[in-house]
Structure 1
Amino acid sequence: MPKDWSGSRLDLHLDIDATGGRRSGLEAALRAAVREGRLTAGTRLPSTRGLARELGLSRGTVSAAFGQLAEEGYLSTRPGSGTTVADVPPRAAHPVRPREPAPTAPRHDLRAGLPDISAFPTRAWLAATRRVLTRARPEVFGAGDPQGRIELRTALADHLGRTRGVVTTPDRVVITSGHYQSVGLLGGVLAANGTGVAAVEDPGHHLYREAVRRAGLTALPLPVDGRGARVDALPRDAGAVFLTPSHHYPTGVPLHPVRRQAVCAWARATGGLIVEDDYDGEFRYDRQPVGAVQGVAPDHVVYCGTASKTLGPALRLAWMALPPHLVGPVVRAKREADLYTETLGQLVLADLIATHAYDRHIRAARLRYRGRRELLLDRVAAIGGLTAHGVPAGLHALVTLPPDGPAEHRLLTDCARHGLALRGLSELHHDPEGRPQGLLIGFAAPSDRAYPQALDVLCGVLTRSVPGQHT
């Protein structure tokens, strides 16, 4: 027998929130009662007149709410039989898991590869955004191009040719949602094209090892010395090599000119692919930046760049200048990955480049970072037993530890205890056993005001950890 709410005087609490209107509030209250099992299937509801009188609502409001819930399947209405609750399984009550607390930002951030986001060119970005929106056609707000906006590809082709010696055209540039995506797309395309082995610098960024392995390729270590990657040690079966030739990550040395020529000759002779990560090539402090390897062999090199180091990682804007035969496969992979990169950010960056606001921002950052690097090296030099490596470039410096200690992991633990975040060298080796230990010290991330204090904390930890060796 159906349960009769109207005749049984069933005491049902309806919490009606009229903020969005009385009808919407009644619908939500009845819907919740059905979902939670307080109104079970077959229960007969009062007449619209009776419920309206009981709740102090108009009959029209109740009738409209009943009609809406009937259309949604929560209620059943039959002429002459009134309105009953439909057979809707009650929603199972799941315990709400407490939200995990967001990771606490370190008090002092000296991690490598991070720019000073407090110096983001907000005014220039806002001015460019206004210009972009003022002249934007309606189609700008529709679906985008998997290859990227032609405005940004055109601006980048000109900018990269002028500042980095890259030889490319807009039709050979692909815009991605960050450098991580660029590497992932390339890994998949390489595997699909039959590449089975890729050489990766050792030490080198773990991103490449992970991307190569996720794509199903074998990642083989390529040793690095004081002249950069040992291209003479390239495995014979390698179909690709991932390099940071302008400023090796993490040692900070550029690839020697003889080796640049040798790796290009290898690519031409074998058909192998060079993947050039120019992650911080804009930042050289003692001379003009070394030009990209891509400019010497544009048909054999994939040039990768990003706005993460110059502007900020939140933009998720990166790019690749590709050999012609890879453009189609990479664009298809991009379409399958996420259709296209966000459009407005592309147009704003294109405007910044075209108006040279991007160049001005980089020049100002270069001056600040040069001073910070010099201050870091001066402070480290006052502590005996530590060795700084690399040319005056980039956003970090590698400092290796003496063979007799202190241990890298203990230093990192001590730094973390003092609210200082930075990275160690060991994680960047293919096999850290028996390899040098050290710290990658980023000098760009803190604001100008916070940087001296971060160095005080770092040098305090280092001084206490290298007893008797500081001067």
Structure 2
Amino acid sequence: MDGSDFLGLDPATAPTRGRTAWLAQQIRTALADGTLTPGARLPATRELAKELSVSRGTVVEAYRRLAEEGLLVTNAGGGTAVADLVPAPAVVATPTPEPERSSELLNISEGAPDSSAFPRAAWLRAERRVLATATARDLGYADPQGTPQLREALARWLARSRGIRAAPERIIVTAGVTGALSLLSQTLCDRGITGCAVEDPGAEGNRRILNYWLDTLHPIAVDEDGLDVAALSCTSARVALVTPAHQFPTGVVLSPARRRELIAWAENTDGFVIEDDYDSEYRYDRAPVRAMHAMAPQRIVHISSLSKVLAPALRIGWMIAPDSLHPELVRKRWATDLGSPALPQLTLAELIDTGVLERHLRSMRLRHRRRRDAAVAAVQRYLHGCRVEGVAAGLHLLVLLPDHVDDAAVAGRARAAGIAVQPLSAHRFTRGGPGLVIGYGPHPAPRLEAAIKILGELTPGG
């Protein structure tokens, strides 16, 4: 679509002030009346700005607002187009007739960030600086622990953001949290430790990784204070995986008393606590709860990543292990694949050291908080009689359903209607109350409301 005939807009009708709002409304109207259809390409911002005699910033901001509302999508190198799923009532009220076509699903099943906000321009600038200054050594085989530049940057970042005091040589760069768990599980097996205690309910993805490498998983109940350490003490486990900052999927924070009890358990059993620092970056009511690692660095294996701040595709995480495990982990990292690619590590180090990462995180907290508020309001509006938990932090909500409701059946009906959502039962080992885990990070408020409205229509008593 050329700027010269884009919707037949007449620049003379644009107000002297408020041109951004005017342009955004003209496009909304075209979407509502069908003039613009899903997938339609919009003119380049520079071209349209010239045609309408407005600044390019006016067009960029109008497009940005509409993308935030879920009406437009911007693809790297591919321009701007009308979203496939436009959250207008006439569209979202109609169930998808072909539920097996998963590409058409509106996915609110994951606690993922808004990857469309990835700082592409800042990443490219940092990457160019890295390529312009990289030495022959930088471009050679990196230390299997990770590049010194990234480990030094992470040491400073973790001290500021998580209260962790770890020297760069104590940090092992991994392929995300999954890579850290795989590496750690293999190292534990070599020591004869083939079981691990896990939270119940708990993250199904972590459970699958551990189940692949280890012989036994010990489910331990989670209550309002986090993992039940008394129940843990009744098992033969010597390793426990916990998400203390924001438990998935309940959203509870491991209480101070439970933290102390957990460390005492590890000392008494000569065991280890794996601290998955899940969702620690997103705390909306106060400063994030500090990491456990500083309380017992010789008993706690700290693992985390920046997948929720930047994007899961980055595949860069880290692990800080006790002295007794560290050498074995480094050797196994070397033997596995010689370590992670160096250039992305150097680029990430540049983002951290220049303050770009912290500025981006502040922006993302504001964006995700607005989406959380929209999701909570929609649940209260459309899912009557349901309780919302886990709202203080993270990128997902836990909606507790009435006891008589089959959450797996609700998720199945939602999928048939074009909505992917996780039943709480999928994250349980043992039977418990039903619920839905709703990820709000990737979705603008209108899209969240539309999806949750459908859930309300499909939930008995909702």
Q: CA deviation at 1:276?
A: 0.4
The yes-or-no answer on 1:395 pairing with 2:395 is yes
Q: 3-state SS of the aligned residue for 2:137?
A: helix
CA distance in 2, matches of 1:393, 1:287: 9
**Matches for 1:50-65 after TM superposition, within 5 Å:** none
- Do the aligned residues in 1 keep the contact of 2:440 with 2:448 (CA within 8 Å)? no
| Aligned equivalent of 2:27 | none
Corresponding residue number in structure 2 for 1:219:
217
Normalised to the residue count of structure 1, the TM-score between the two structures is 0.74
Asked whether the 8 Å contact 2:112–2:441 carries over to 1, the reply is yes
SS of the counterpart of 2:324?
helix
Paired AA for residue 175 in structure 2: S
Amino acid at match of 1:421: A
Counterpart of 2:413? 414
1:391 positional shift: 4.4
Identity rate, percent:
39
Which deviates further from its counterpart, 211-220 or 241-250? 211-220
Measure, in 2, the Cα distance between the counterparts of 1:117 and 1:178. 16
User: Which residue does 2:364 correspond to in 1?
Assistant: 365
Q: Which amino acid aligns with 2:370?
A: G
Residue matched to 1:458:
452
Flag the structure with larger Rg: 1
**Equivalent residue for 1:232?**
230
Question: Which residue type is aligned with residue 247 of structure 1?
Answer: H
**Deviation string for 1:326-361 (max 9, x for gaps)?**
121111221222221011110011111111110011
The residue number in structure 2 matching 1:62 is: none
SS of alignment partner, residue 398 of structure 1: strand
Instruction: Tell me: CA distance 1:415–1:140, structure 2 relative to 1, closer, same or farther (3 Å).
Output: same
Q: Cα distance, 1:112 vs. partner? A: 2.2
- The answer (yes or no) to whether the contact 1:109–1:454 under 8 Å persists in 2 is no
1:437 maps to which of 421, 434, 437:
434
The letter for the 2-side match of 1:300 is R
SS at match of 1:139: coil
Distance change in 2, residues 1:105/1:139 (3 Å): farther
2:169 is matched with which residue?
171
Matched, 1:198 2:192: no
Partner of 2:337: 338
Matches within 5 A, 1:234-273: 234=232, 235-273=234-272
What is the CA–CA distance in structure 2 between the aligned matches of 1:426 and 1:113, rounded to whole Å? 16
Instruction: Please give the per-residue CA displacement for 1:434-456, whole angstroms capped at 9, x wherever unaligned.
Output: 4111111001022x3xx412321
Equivalent position SS for 1:302 = strand
Tell me the SS of whatever aligns to 1:325. coil
The verdict on how the C-alpha distance between 1:203 and 1:453 changes in structure 2, with shifts beyond 3 A counting, is same
Structure 1 counterpart of 2:155: 157
Query: 1:180 & 1:219 partners in 2: Cα distance?
Result: 17
Q: What do you get for the CA RMSD once the two structures are aligned? A: 1.7
Where 2:246 maps in the other structure, the secondary structure is coil
**1:8 corresponding residue in structure 2:** none
| 2:144 counterpart (129, 143, 146) | 146
In structure 2, relative to structure 1, the CA distance for the partners of 1:428 and 1:464 (3 Å cut) is: closer
Partners of 1:106 and 1:273 in 2: CA distance: 43
Contact kept in structure 2, 1:276 and 1:293, CA below 8 Å = yes
- For residue 309 of structure 1, give the secondary structure of its aligned residue in structure 2: coil
What amino acid sits opposite 1:438 in the alignment?
G
Does the Cα contact within 8 Å between 2:374 and 2:448 map onto a contact in 1? no
Alpha-carbon distance in structure 2 between the residues aligned to 1:203 and 1:140: 43
Whole-angstrom CA distance in 1 between matches of 2:267 and 2:428: 29
Ranges of 4+ aligned residues in structure 1 off by more than 6 Å: none
The range that moved more, 326-335 or 281-290, is 326-335
**Structure 1: 5+ residue runs without aligned partners?**
1-101
Write the letter of the residue equivalent to 1:264. Answer: I
After superposition, the C-alpha distances for 1:236-265 in whole angstroms (9 at most, x for unaligned) are 421110000010110000001110111112
SS in 2 for 1:331: helix
Q: Which amino acid aligns with 1:172?
A: R
Match of 1:130 among 113, 116, 128: 128
Q: Deviations over 1:137-169 (max 9, x none)?
A: 123222222111111111111111111111211
Q: Name 1:47's counterpart in structure 2.
A: none
8 A contact 1:395–1:443 mirrored in 2: yes
1:185/1:245 CA distance change after superposition, 3 Å: same
CA distance in structure 2 between the aligned counterparts of 1:159 and 1:338, rounded to whole angstroms: 26
Q: Which amino acid aligns with 1:442?
A: G
How many angstroms apart in 2 are the aligned matches of 1:414 and 1:210? 25
Letter in 2 for 1:425: L
SS at match of 1:254: coil
Q: Is the 8 Å Cα contact of residues 240 and 275 (structure 1) preserved in structure 2?
A: yes
Letter in 2 for 1:302: V
| 2:173 alignment partner, SS class | strand
- Counterpart Cα distance in 2 of 1:285 and 1:389: 14
Structure 1 residue 113: deviation in Å? Answer: 2.1
Using the TM superposition, give the Cα deviation of residue 215 of structure 1 relative to its aligned residue in structure 2, in angstroms: 2.3
Alpha-carbon separation, structure 1, partners of 2:391 and 2:113 = 18
Asked whether the equivalents of residues 106 and 421 of structure 1 are also in contact (C-alpha less than 8 Å), the reply is: no
Sort the Cα spacing of 1:254 and 1:126 in 2 relative to 1 into closer, same or farther, 3 A: same
Q: Which amino acid in 2 is paired with 1:304?
A: I
Q: Is 1:415–1:458's contact at 8 Å kept on the other side of the alignment?
A: no
User: Which amino acid counterpart does residue 255 of structure 2 have in structure 1?
Assistant: H
CA gap of 1:230–1:106, structure 2 versus 1, over 3 A, is farther
The one-letter amino acid paired with 1:409 is A
Contact 2:371-2:440 at 8 Å conserved across structures: yes
Please tell me whether the aligned partners of residues 390 and 396 of structure 2 are also in contact (alpha carbons under 8 angstroms).
Answer: no
Distance in 1 separating the partners of 2:111 and 2:455: 22
Distance in 2, Cα, partners of 1:388 & 1:256:
20
- Superimposed CA distance per residue, residues 206-244 of structure 1 (whole angstroms, 9 cap, x where no aligned partner): 233333332233111111011111112114421110000
Deviations 1:247-296 (A, max 9, x none): 01100000011101111122223221000001210000000000001111
Q: 1:345 and 1:284, CA in 2 relative to 1: closer, same or farther beyond 3 A?
A: same
Q: Name the CA distance, whole Å, in 2 between partners of 1:404 and 1:430.
A: 19
SS at match of 2:103: coil
Q: What is the DSSP-based 3-state SS (H/G/I as helix, E as strand, rest coil) of the residue aligned with 1:140?
A: coil
